[in-house]
Amino acid sequence: MSGSVGDITVIAQEVRGCTRCGLHTGRVRAVPGEGPADAKIMLIGEGPGYHEDRQGRPFVGPSGQFLDELLAIAGLRRSDVFIANVVKCRPPQNRDPQPDEISTCTELYLYRQIALIDPAVIVTLGRFSMNLFLPGARIMRDHGKPQWVNGRLIVPMIHPAAALHRPENRPLIEADFERLPAILAEAEAERSTPADPSNDEEPPLEQLSLF
Ligand code: URA
């Protein structure tokens, strides 16, 4: 991968000083993401909310508490996974991130984080994150169904905040997290199997050439 990918802490420093889109004007702190640089699972949310903006850390508010419970269902602790967001600065009043904010932030930071960490599994939390990897997917139809994209299993999941707001979503997201260990085992087994040269069923190349 290119030398510009850099070190995970270097990327975090760049994020903290970033002024490349309008979101920086309203932030208290940017939220680069956190976790081990060799995490096998990466979780990608939408963007910082009120609490994350104040603390500079991802998922530390109510949806973060729920995320910790979901990780526990999967037998995981927060320190086992890398948690990041599509955009690293809080959109005003938690509005949706705009296309230019998403493209700037992902190209400058998120895709470099993914390339460096090289996780076997990416769990997308909510539709903005999901649509980066699976542009045609729909969250209520496709949540919990892993799909190969450029050598990783992408697992779309309902955003924890959506499960907090709509209690009927809670068993769905819990069931999806319960399957995470099996999904990781599948991804790791596939990645450790030497490529079969007679197998021409390469996953289609798409816009995420940085992966
Ligand atoms: N919601 C997100 O998508 N990301 C966070 O970091 C917190 C809440």
The per-residue pLDDT for range 77-134, each reduced to its tens digit, is 999 999 999 999 999 999 999 999 999 999 999 999 999 999 999 999 999 999 999 9
Which residue reads 């299993």 in tokens?
153
User: What DSSP character marks residue 188?
Assistant: H
Q: Is the CB of residue 44 less than 8 Å from the CB of residue 123?
A: yes
Q: Give pairs for 191-194: CB < 8 Å, separation 24+.
A: 191/120, 191/151
Q: What CATH topology corresponds to 5-192? A: Uracil-DNA Glycosylase, subunit E (3.40.470)
Model confidence, pTM: 0.91
Distant-in-sequence, close-in-space partners of 174: CB < 8 Å, separation ≥ 6: 70, 73
Kindly report, residue by residue over 122-135, the tens digit of the pLDDT: 999 999 999 999 99
Domain ranges for the chain: 5-192
The residue length of the chain stands at: 211
58 lines ligand 1 (CB under 6 A): yes
User: What DSSP character marks residue 106?
Assistant: I
Q: How confident is the model at residue 175 (pLDDT cuts 50, 70, 90)?
A: very high
Residue 1, pLDDT > 60, answer: no
pLDDT at 84: 98
pLDDT at 194: 80
Residue 2, pLDDT > 90, answer: no
**Closest atom of ligand 1 to CA, residue 160:** 1
**Closest atom of ligand 1 to CA, residue 86:** 3
Q: Which helix (H) or strand (E) holds 201?
A: none
Kindly report, residue by residue over 57-80, the tens digit of the pLDDT: 999 999 999 999 999 999 999 999
**Closest atom of ligand 1 to CA, residue 46:** 3
33 lines ligand 1 (CB under 6 A): no
Residue 3, pLDDT > 60, answer: no
Please give the Cα distance from 189 to 210 (Å, whole number): 23
Instruction: Tell me the three state secondary structure of residue 8.
Output: helix
Residue 168, pLDDT > 70, answer: yes
Please give the Cα distance from 184 to 120 (Å, whole number): 7
